[in-house]
A and B are shown apart, each in its own frame.
Chain A
């Protein structure tokens, strides 16, 4: 940690991880409801559990992005953060918003619009926090008077994240039109500007961990971000196939969204190249695991499994089946969960004042492999369930309820592998809060300002 104000990242990471734990708990509950019967039917029905599960994901990943940005921007610009106080205030407001939303959902306070369920007043709070956050970063950069390409890509991704939330504030009487603009937020976030953020964080981590030449890596970063938008913007159309838009979205959308895996392939190659070319062996092996893991797992989850059902002729049969959560779980985990956990594990020794080499240890590595293995198993459970559902329900014409009954064994597998995943999350949290993530008292003789990161 080179700058004292980078410490702002720590509480953001702590909040992100607590919400992650809560998200996984609700995920397990949802999986149990798939198995049924459901004793909580009239207390906490499936819709509320699922809504809390997905909203917590969005909130904690964004919290992680914010923490990562507060850590990265001062370092890249070479200056203290403009206002750590503003960052703390923003965090408090953000947490209050998140808790209000979760409690509200549990009691049915919702706008009931998939992934954008936040009631309108809370949406305004989200916008306000985003503005505080962006102002803080931009003023830091302005004061420093310099920035790097990596940082510029990250901040641009964050600015577009805020801008693309604005369509979520609009409502339309025509359901098709409201679907159309809902995807401007949801799709252009996760398959557009969030990939920009992932790419930038990946570039930063690879530069630090592998010591590879910045010029080369940043050149690649432009290629990746370019491919992201070339494929991703018109790729929005894969959400438009069957919702009442003109026919031409199908072939055009099919073509461009079939290009989306190139982005992830590019990232995986970029990570491979960086690690291969550098002779350096960074002591923070855990951060290397999560960094390379993110590049590889997102190539599988977001790239390959997205491609599996993106073509209109295939999607016609798989649309609205469990094939979608197969892709969704693997994609979000690989691209966003893993990159945030990579930033946390990379920043942690600096944030807690520990020796980087001592972060190595069985707990963190176990957490990594349990999460990776558990998520792979969950992905396969959704895949087998989704394929069976597509054939039985969509092609043969068996009813929804009978089909769900026939594919129950896959829900058992979902729950079992979900428990493995949850165990990995529990270990990660334990390590962060009770193990090596606890800050050490700062020795009086050795001011933190003097420390340098590798």
Chain B
């Protein structure tokens, strides 16, 4: 190609792309109102946007995934936290997080009550923007999205002597290693079925005509399932065969009686969270 040819390539290519880009921009303006629910941009939302900028929030946080990467994304924060919580948090973040425990702390933004309400209104409006369903799964400020998998927490210690708390710690300890086959998250079936609402399910199951075991109440059913797993078989080819559950049947010898009590106490607390 000659220099003249390459110049034509440059000018022609640039022009064509600019035309396409400007065309898409004009069309986007036709759609912004609908995609962003522009009719819901109230004076409070606009004021809240000013607070957002004035306090330089974007140089620590991200919003719609844009900003700095030092603090959590706030796109859906109003769906994850209630207004009362956010008001209290913005009044004094140090009541909720500490540097010693969480490594990072937000300095007090020193907002008035009105400014707090405005910035919450702004974030509420942002959370409803139609943005191709991003984020694909919730981005949490802290904690874990899959309860029972316990990815974040260190080796479990019970917070008190409460049997259910002792049982929860035991559930996450190996042995007995309950967590390696059972999640406590709805619909998350590992090698064994999910125990998400077992506290509730146990009560209905003992009364069902399919049940032929010895237990008469929820606690009894859970205890029996731990000690004699084949007394009732949850349907599923990967859970049992030939009338025998795949779950080990030696927990009666592995665990002390009081440990079984603790597990029962914990599992009974798992109620349907809906």
Chain A residues with a Cβ under 8 A of chain B: 33-34, 36-38, 41-42, 45-48, 50-51, 108, 110-114, 117, 149, 173-177, 179-180, 215, 218-220, 222-223, 225-227, 229-230, 233-234, 236, 239, 241-250, 252, 256, 316-317, 319-322, 324-325, 392-402, 404-406, 408
Contact = CB atoms under 8 A, between A and B. Distances in A.
Contact of B59 (A114, A247, A319, A322): A114
Given A236-B21, A394-B137, A219 B3 contact: yes
A46 B58 CA distance: 11
Interface residues of B, number: 80
Nearest to A39: B99
A260 to B, nearest CB: 12
A177 to B, nearest CB: 6
Interface string B41-72: 10000100100111111111011111111111
A176 B37 CA distance: 11
Interface string B5-23: 0110111011011101100
A234 B21 contact: yes
A392 B73 CA distance: 15
Given A41-B107, A114-B58, A176 B70 contact: no
Contact of A37 (B14, B100, B144): B100
A285 B134 CA distance: 49
A34 B70 CA distance: 7
A396 B17 contact: no
20 contacts: A36-B99, A108-B56, A112-B56, A114-B66, A117-B56, A175-B63, A218-B3, A223-B9, A226-B11, A227-B13, A233-B18, A236-B21, A243-B129, A320-B65, A321-B69, A322-B69, A401-B104, A404-B103, A405-B103, A406-B152
Which of A249, A394, A395, A402 has the most chain B CB atoms inside 10 A of its CB? A402
B142 interface: yes
A402 B54 CA distance: 29
B105 interface: yes
Given A51-B56, A173-B46, A175-B126, 10 more contacts: A37-B99, A50-B59, A50-B70, A108-B56, A114-B66, A219-B1, A229-B17, A229-B18, A394-B135, A401-B104
Closest 5 CB pairs of A and B: A397-B145, A320-B65, A47-B59, A226-B10, A242-B134
B132 A242 contact: yes
Which of A48, A113, A219, A401 has the most chain B CB atoms inside 10 A of its CB? A401
B36 interface: yes
B102 interface: yes
Contacts of B7: 222
B24 interface: yes
B187 to A, nearest CB: 14
Interface string B140-153: 11111110010110
Contacts of B204: none
Nearest to A215: B3
Nearest to A230: B13
Contacts of B27: 246
A368 to B, nearest CB: 29
Contacts of B58: 47, 112-114
B216 interface: no
A250 B132 contact: yes
Contact of A48 (B53, B59, B71, B105): B59
A190 B57 CA distance: 24
Contact of A38 (B99, B135, B143, B146): B99
Given A233-B17, A247-B132, A399-B142, A46 B68 contact: yes
Contacts of B64: 175-176, 179, 242-244
Given A42-B107, A174-B38, A180-B28, A397 B53 contact: no
B70 A320 contact: no
B224 to A, nearest CB: 33
A381 to B, nearest CB: 13
Contact of B142 (A36, A402, A406): A402
Nearest to B140: A399
A191 to B, nearest CB: 13
B142 A222 contact: no
Contacts of B62: 320
A400 B71 CA distance: 8
Given A37-B100, A179-B64, A404-B103, A396 B145 contact: yes
B31 interface: yes
B6 A241 contact: no
A12 B189 CA distance: 65
A176 B72 contact: no
Given A174-B38, A245-B28, A396 B151 contact: yes
B139 interface: yes
A245 B35 contact: yes
Nearest to B59: A47
A246 B35 contact: yes
Nearest to A34: B70
Contacts of B130: 244
Contacts of A149: 3
A36 B53 contact: no
A34 B60 CA distance: 11
Nearest to A37: B99
A222 B24 contact: no
B144 A397 contact: yes
B140 to A, nearest CB: 4
B143 A110 contact: no
